[in-house]
Amino acid sequence: MSQSSAWIAMEKQYYAQTVRRQPVVLVRGQGCRVWDADGKEYLDLVAGWAVNNLGHAHPVVTHAVAEQAATLVQTSNQFYTVPQLLLAQLLIEHSCLDRVFFGNSGAEANEGALKLARKYGKQRQDGAYEVITAANSFHGRTLATLAATGQSHYQEAFVPLLPGFVHVPYNDVEAIIQATTDSTAAVMLEPVQGEGGVNIPDPDYLQRVRAWCDRQGLLLILDEIQTGMGRLGSLFGYQEYGVEPDVMTLAKGLGYGVPIGAFLAKEGCMALEPGDHGSTFGGNALTTAAAYAGTQYLIDHDIPAHVKRMETYLLTHLQALRGQFACVAAVRGKGLLAAMEFDSDIAGRVVTYANEAGVLLNAVRPNTIRFMPPLTITVEEIDEAAGRLEEALKHL
């Protein structure tokens, strides 16, 4: 029995069987590469689900974690800590938002944003509480974010859902206009839908939504949990579309591997007051020190500009594979968030063959694989990953 098989057997025995995992037990990572328990090396184009934006074991993040772990990890938010304040300042000074609250995950960040919208509606919109979100959106697995998510297969086992959410087709401003009522408090959207299959809206979609929100006095909440922190080629996705949100949520790439989430709001929209919200671990010294170090590096080294260069390079490779293999129906992407769609539901098989060929990918839909590599990926690594994917596609 291989080392990996033994660990997989242990998972089957002890772990809640909620996740369909790949049969790969990862024990080490460095940059864009990871190694399994039997010593096999892979190029990692999953990156912890769009989390490891600087790759694995980046020295800046490793150093920040080690130093902070040896200094001060957790204090409770009853007290001030310096890394939390430095990260808050960095994010606010580099975004259009004015205030930030730190939590521990994407779902929690969105929960905070949704609570903010409810309070804002109560105080300033005559009790409006509904939030319009998009079909195929993904906002998390807690009860409120599940209700916000526009994919019924995640919801069916957990009805009745929290009321107050209206779903409309994505990339359809008219549908938002039609769905708006006196009860509408906010519109919540992803700048590019990630879990929904990498759905890229028309260039003017968010601007037109922004204009409608302004006209109606609605909050525009952008869920940048997957698109933020350089993923689309700007520090924040909204910068790619020439709009400013009233509220923005972050997680994933913000932590460079450590668990952290955040919601940010414009001063005039931060309706939450003392006692309205809190978190034991949220924004603790360890996670914020890692997030601060990683974000400072991302900004200082203009990683978003590198992402823009690598976007063209990656998409050119994927288009070439589309020309080579008839089963590839479409290729799309923005920044380093890309998808390859097939003409049938073979994404699972492609991922299995890709594992064997030494490249880790994500089957985001039954017929679609998603690419979300570390933002530091190089042209050589893209060449190599594309070669391994080609090998995998030949097996079909």
- Min dist CB 223 to ligand PLP, Å, is 5
State yes or no: is 252 an active-site residue: yes
Using CB under 6 A as the binding rule, whether residue 346 contacts ligand PLP is answered as: no
| Residue with Cβ nearer ligand PLP (103 or 358) | 103
Strands 26-30 and 368-371: unpaired
Residues 121-180 that bind ligand PLP (CB under 6 A): 138-140
Site string for ligand PLP, 260-289 (x = CB under 6 A): ------------------------------
List, in sequence order, every residue forming a beta bridge with 99; answer none if it has no partner.
265
Using CB under 6 A as the binding rule, whether residue 253 contacts ligand PLP is answered as no
Pick the closer one to ligand PLP by CB: 49 or 281: 49
Place of tokens 């309706």: 271
As given in the structure block, the two tokens for residue 214 are 């302004």
Catalytic residue among 236, 252, 342, 371: 252
Place of tokens 């080392």: 3
CB atoms within 10 A of CB 167: 20
| Tokens 């924004």, located at residue | 283
Picking from 27, 69, 100, the residue whose alpha carbon sits closest to that of residue 251 is 100
The set of residues, in sequence order, having a beta carbon less than 8 Å from that of 125 and lying 6+ positions away, is 185, 217, 218
* Rounded-to-integer distance, Cα 306 and Cα 309, Å: 5
132 burial type by CB count under 10 A (0-12 exposed, 13-18 middle, 19+ buried) = buried
Structure tokens at 240: 């790619």
Query: How far is 101 from 87, CA to CA, in rounded Å?
Result: 11
Q: What are the Cα distances from residue 309, in Å, to 192, 333, 334, 375?
A: 19, 13, 11, 11
Does residue 111 interact with ligand PLP by CB under 6 A? no
Q: Residue from 111, 130, 223, 240 that binds ligand PLP (CB under 6 A)?
A: 223
* Residues β-bridged to residue 43: 33, 359
Which residue of 103, 106, 294, 374 would you call a contact of ligand PLP, by CB under 6 A? 106
Q: Choose, from 138, 236, 342, 371, the residue flagged as catalytic.
A: 138
* Position among 81, 180, 226, 234 found at the interface with ligand PLP (CB under 6 A): 226
36, 44, 130, 190: which one binds ligand PLP (CB under 6 A): 190
Q: Is 194 in the site for ligand PLP (CB under 6 A)?
A: yes
Residue whose C-beta lies closest to ligand PLP: 106
223: annotated active-site residue: yes
Q: Is 138 a catalytic residue?
A: yes
Task: List the catalytic residues.
Answer: 138, 223, 252
Residues in contact with ligand PLP by CB under 6 A are 49, 105-107, 110, 138-140, 190, 194-195, 223, 225-226, 251
